[in-house]
């Protein structure tokens, strides 16, 4: 893994290795395969937008974790699209939602919104892994966990179980 070029620092720990095994050899293999097949249609567009917005290309893996690159994905919490925007966050980043149209399902517009949101989270936290955690669970929750524990990085928050289990699993699942 370290021999492949990445624009985020590669963290290798037991949590990351467990997810790597899960997606290579376990039940997650089929999900990964479906997402990667679907991704082919969107990769050039996503890469272009991430570059234009100055966001690390490795963050493309968030789209796999969020929806397996499914533009029509809808979560139990009503998050929608490839990047799984809830209604209010989508509106905050300019995604129109009317009776007839929901731009959260528009691959290009939602990718632009996701890139801007991630860049804002990075500006707030100064760390891409914390930005990823905040993308999943919200910036307030991450900030509160940092203050409560005195931690200064995602991996320490994960060790201390200071974030929801979904978020603790989300970052290594979404990492390059």
| Cβ atoms of 78 and 141 closer than 8 Å | no
Q: How far is 142 from 156, CA to CA, in rounded Å? A: 12
| Cβ atoms of 53 and 119 closer than 8 Å | yes
Q: Is 11 among the residues known to form the active site?
A: no
Query: Two tokens at 2?
Result: 């370290």
Residue 46's nearest CA partner among 66, 25, 30, 27 is 66
Active-site residue, from 11, 52, 53, 66:
66
**Residues known to be catalytic:** 66
């Amino acid at each position: 893994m370290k021999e492949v070029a990445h624009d985020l620092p590669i963290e290798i720990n037991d949590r990351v290795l467990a997810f790597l095994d899960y997606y290579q050899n376990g039940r997650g293999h089929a999900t990964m395969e479906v997402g990667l097949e679907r991704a082919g249609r969107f990769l050039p567009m996503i890469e272009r937008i991430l570059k234009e917005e100055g966001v690390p290309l490795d963050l493309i893996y968030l789209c796999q974790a969020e929806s397996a690159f499914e533009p029509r994905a809808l979560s139990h919490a009503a998050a929608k699209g490839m990047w799984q925007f809830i209604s209010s966050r989508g509106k905050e980043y300019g995604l129109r939602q009317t009776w007839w149209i929901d731009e959260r399902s528009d691959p290009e517009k939602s990718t632009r919104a996701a890139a801007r949101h991630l860049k804002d989270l990075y500006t707030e936290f100064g760390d891409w892994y914390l930005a990823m955690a905040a993308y999943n669970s919200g910036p307030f929750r991450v900030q509160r966990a940092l203050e409560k524990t005195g931690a200064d990085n995602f991996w320490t928050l994960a060790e201390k179980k200071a974030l929801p289990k979904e978020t603790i699993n989300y970052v290594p699942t979404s990492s390059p």
